Amino acid sequence: MSKQEIKCKKNKGGRPSSFKVEYVKQVYNLCAYLGADNPKLCKFFKCSELTLYNWGRKNPEFIKALKDGKDYYDTNNVEKTLLQRALGYSYNEITKQQVIDKQGVKRVIKKIIHKQVLPDVTAQIFYLKCRQPQRWKDRQDINVTSTHEHRHINIDATDLSIEQKRELLKAARRKMVESKVVENKPKQLIEPKKRIKRKKT
């Protein structure tokens, strides 16, 4: 046997990993279809969170399957439900009602009721804030800074329309330009102060 073969056969030390290749498919299915989080995965695999973390660090395909599974669950369940709530939806509700007919016999009648759920404004706001944060965040600040005078104006423009915001910016720019023109006038246009000479005594 060569020296290289002996080196390969040497034990690295420590307990062998309990990770199995089939865990990759299992972790994807658990996350994607059951919405399992890390504690539930640990319970299923009968391991600690540190072991789960180590499996992901040593096996990139395991951590990829875990992330892809969670992403699939979020997209197909949570986001879909939030969008449904924001847009409104309809569903059929089956109800059972006991009635007594003319012969005095109790019967159970099934009724299918078509119900409509109206769009929810809170869900719409949340959805739009996540999808387009620049347009739909709670507070919109318009900062106008004049570098010449080092002035800083902070305006709360939360309740203003887009057209009002544009007009506000235009007005602020005009003010800045006007203030620069006044302060940068040539010196000869400004009347010099007259000095009064005092007589020495």
Terminal-residue alpha carbon distance, the chain: 117
With 50 as the cut, is the pLDDT of residue 56 above it?
Answer: yes
In a domain? residue 28: yes
- Over its C-alpha atoms, the chain yields an Rg (Å, rounded) of 36
Predicted pLDDT of residue 157: 65
* Residue whose pair of structure tokens reads 């109800």 in the numeric block: 95
Of all residues in the chain, the percent with pLDDT exceeding 70 is 69
> When comparing pLDDT for 157 and 49, which is higher?
49
In a domain? residue 58: yes
Determine the structural domain holding residue 58 and report its residue range: 20-87
Predicted pLDDT of residue 8: 46
In a domain? residue 3: no
Q: Which of 1-5, 7-11, 74-78, 194-198 has the highest mean pLDDT?
A: 74-78
Average pLDDT over residues 152-180: 71
In a domain? residue 63: yes
Instruction: Kindly give the pairing relationship between strand 141-146 and strand 89-100.
Output: unpaired
Residues 78 and 26 in one domain: yes
With 60 as the cut, is the pLDDT of residue 111 above it?
Answer: yes
With 80 as the cut, is the pLDDT of residue 10 above it?
Answer: no
Residues 29 and 80 in one domain: yes
Q: Tell me the pLDDT band of 188, cut-offs 50, 70 and 90.
A: very low
In a domain? residue 121: yes
Q: Tell me the pLDDT band of 83, cut-offs 50, 70 and 90.
A: confident
Which of 72, 87, 102 is at the close of a domain? Answer: 87
With 50 as the cut, is the pLDDT of residue 184 above it?
Answer: no
User: Rounded to the nearest 5 degrees, what angle is found at the Cα of 199, between the Cα atoms of 197 and 200?
Assistant: 130
CB 95 within 8 A of CB 111: yes
Q: Tell me the pLDDT band of 65, cut-offs 50, 70 and 90.
A: very high
Residues 80 and 92 in one domain: no
